[in-house]
Amino acid sequence: MTAFPAVAAFDWVTIAGGLRRPTDFADPNDGSGRLLVLEQPGLIRVIADGQLQERPFLDLTDRVGANSSEQGLLGIALDPDYAENGIFYLNYTDKNGNTVVSRFRRSADGTSGDPQSEQVLLYVEQPYANHNGGDLEFGPDGYLYIGLGDGGSAGDPQRRAQNNQTLLGKMLRLDVRGQTLYAIPPDNPFADGNGGRQEIWANGLRNPWRYTFDRLTGDLYIADVGQNKYEEINFVPAGSPPGLNFGWHYREATHPFADTPPAGLSLYDPVHEYGRNDGCSVTGGYVYRGSQLPEFYGVYLFGDYCNGFVWGMLRDSNGNWVVERLFQLGANISSFSEDAQGELYLLDHRSGSIYKLIRR
């Protein structure tokens, strides 16, 4: 499509409330009809038949630390064969504020997650309490992508995003399926162990707060939270080579920030940026691929945490990116999500509500 729909015909409606600082959402697509929602303090809650269930799917409050607004239980990815094998992955900060990425398994009766099944795959020390990243996504290549922020504070003071000897400020890519822990994909940039950490897939990120693969094309969209002037959206076409450098801390979006990049260093440009007149913290979304709202088919929807703006982004007939503000909600948008059918949802961090995009 090359034009945005008339949004007066659509609305975001509440499907559940009463959650404590929801951060992420997953549809198990296992025939149960249940939806799983992460609460930042460490619970995974269940929505069934439109009702928030009292019994959690998983309680990790004994190991999750959420002492700052950016710490806690932050991301979930279900194994592509979750319905059969019951395996899922979580990203959280522990009681010491460090990042943990772990594999879990469903309980024997299939109704809950087993807290004793945890296998820690990755442990990353966090020097500060902010910029933890936290998203987890399986790519069309079957690998797990892990977005980590630059370690926090402000301005990347230790220059971690451009230092390939640390995992901070990076997009990681791991082969976790069928592995005891994980293996390194052979085309990761430093898979041979020379020049950087083998887990790294791309660098130069400040705080990638939600990224997604288009379920139809495999294209990757990354929303990276800016420092104090600009937010950005990065687009990586399917099949792009690994090793991209998204530019932070040398620049914030397309604008110089600190230091001079080495001669010959290639920085990957965002396809969209916005300044403080339009928000203060970007939340990445999804390309709509559902069937209920064909007017949105192919539109990438993303938002801003601070003011509740929701934008649409698409390419026009000349291949140029076009962005239009479509909605303004009274919400702190912590995440967008999609169900197994491709319908879109958003999470309100402040009110603890889950909204679904519908036709009026």
Spacing of C-alpha 90 from chain mean position: 12
In whole angstroms, give the CA distance from residue 40 to residue 20.
7
* pLDDT band (50, 70, 90) for residue 34: very high
Average pLDDT estimate for 63-70: 94
Query: Do residues 304 and 333 lie in contact, with contact meaning Cβ atoms separated by under 8 Å?
Result: yes
344: pLDDT strictly greater than 80: yes
In whole angstroms, give the CA distance from residue 22 to residue 306.
15
What whole-number percentage of the chain has pLDDT above 90? 97
Domain boundaries, the chain: 7-359
In whole angstroms, give the CA distance from residue 12 to residue 67.
31
* pLDDT band (50, 70, 90) for residue 183: very high
Average pLDDT estimate for 137-149: 98
* Residue 31 CB-density burial (10 A; 0-12 exposed, 13-18 middle, 19+ buried): exposed
Residue 17 parent element (H or E)? none
Outline where DSSP puts E strands in 107-155.
113-124, 136-138, 144-147
127: pLDDT strictly greater than 80: yes
What is the structure's pLDDT at 290?
A: 98
What is the structure's pLDDT at 110?
A: 87
1: pLDDT strictly greater than 80: no
- For the chain, the average pLDDT equals 97
Residue 352 DSSP code: T
What is the structure's pLDDT at 179?
A: 97
| 294-319 pLDDT per residue, tens | 999 999 999 999 999 999 999 999 99
What is the structure's pLDDT at 2?
A: 72
Q: Could you give the C-alpha distances from 73 to 20, 25, 115, 282, in angstroms and in order?
A: 11, 11, 14, 19
3: pLDDT strictly greater than 90: no
SS (H, E, C) 65-109: CCCCCCCCEEEEEECCCHHHHCEEEEEEEECCCCEEEEEEEECCC
What is the structure's pLDDT at 159?
A: 97
| Tokens standing for residue 345 | 């949802």
- Residue of 194, 96, 210, 58 lying closest to 146 (CA atoms): 210
CATH superfamily of this structure's domain 7-359: TolB, C-terminal domain (2.120.10.30)
Q: What is the torsional sign of CA 15, 345, 355, 20?
A: positive
DSSP H helical ranges for 232-271? none
Average pLDDT estimate for 106-129: 96
